[in-house]
Structure 1
Amino acid sequence: MAFQDQAVGICARLHLTAVRKPILIGIVVVLGVVAASAVLALASPAAAGEVVAVISAQERSVVGEDASGAEAAAGEGETISAEREAEGGNEGDSRSGEASLGGAGSETMLCVHVDGEVAAPGVYYLPEGSRVVDAVEAAGGMTGDARSSGVNLAQGLTDGQQVLIPGPDDVPGAADSPAGGEGAAAGDERVNVNTATAAELETLDGIGEVTAAKIIAEREAHGPFASPEDLKRVSGIGDKKIEALRDRICL
């Protein structure tokens, strides 16, 4: 065979002709393997470089894809964060608006009855802190026959109060007052039972210190008197005493 002939030739050159053929063949095989290994070792750096280059390119591609993915994820995260902040701001504005509306709706209102010489007598609801002038304006203002000199337009209102604007034939001082108002009505020396002090009430016939104190306590507890007959709310005052006081008092 050709392989055996080559082995014999190699042995002849190495002066190994005395060695048996099987051994010579084994030696040749070993030398061939060693030679092949050497060739592969010489060729491996280039091959390895190519492999490394391929791997590096793949790694760069993967890294680039990862970086792009990370940037995209970061962008999505920022977008989501901005959307949440916007939603939170809108919700806060909405709640703020709702809170403002709630505050406006919870304002305390006063119910007052405006009567007499006004354009539109009736019951009106006014904000707490309103004055008689506000009640008169709510009722359309005074008529031409109103006696404005008998009304304290700057007086504060209380819930359930009646504001009576007098006419030409009415008793002056007709705007009801809460306790602590300014004294008695002037001009005809009548005493305003809704504003008079204890000393002023005691100037009335049949009204002593005890009854005067009861009148003041009653109007402070239950509001001003709407008519002379309303004085019967006070213990000790009946129809006869009211008739005796009618020409001496005003409301």
Structure 2
Amino acid sequence: MNHNYKILEWIKQNYQYILIGLAVVFIAFKLVSNDASTESANLNIEQASQDHEMSNQTSKKTEEPNKEESSLPVKSVTVDIKGAVNNPNTYEMKSTDRIKDVISKAQLKDNADLTKINLSEKLRDQMYIYIPIKDEQMPEQANLQNSDKLVVNINTATKEEIQKIPGVGPSKAEKIIQYRESNGQFNSIDDLKKVKGFGDKTVSSLKEYIIIN
């Protein structure tokens, strides 16, 4: 008991110094902890910076192959698509678009044949695209055959080309286009009789100027 009493007396006499000592130890501990946290944070920041730099370098490498293409001016082009599509028409596209892009707008028919179409070809202004049906022979590029006289393929010709047929003006050419777009391609020249304004006599006189492909 006497020993414990002496200890208590000593603590009472020196409690201020004891408190100061504890405070010093606490402050020292906090400083060491802060230094460790700061060092860890600096390491994380440095690692994040390195990761960001590597990501930028990878992104630049990915963009480099397209730099030349992206530097070209993008223009508006008008293309005409006909044949085995649900929506044959002229379409306003971009010069960076490809044939597959305008085909997706026109929507292919189930019997369309793409084996002879270069889907990756870039579009050009006033480009004409014809999508054949399966087992169909591709028409001539201009849809016209030059021999002793003018011959027009009414399944693929434009309104202006159809008007070149003797006796066919803008009105009749428009009716041919409308029939073709509503009912599909002509299977024979006699199918022209189904178009309003084309009777037996008229169709017979036009046969030498028309082909069906």
Identify the TM-score tier after normalising by the shorter chain: 0.3 to 0.5
Which is strand-richer, 1 or 2? 2
User: Bigger relative contact order, structure 1 or 2, given CA contacts below 8 A and separation 6+?
Assistant: 2
Instruction: Compute the TM-score of the two structures, normalised by the length of structure 2.
Output: 0.40
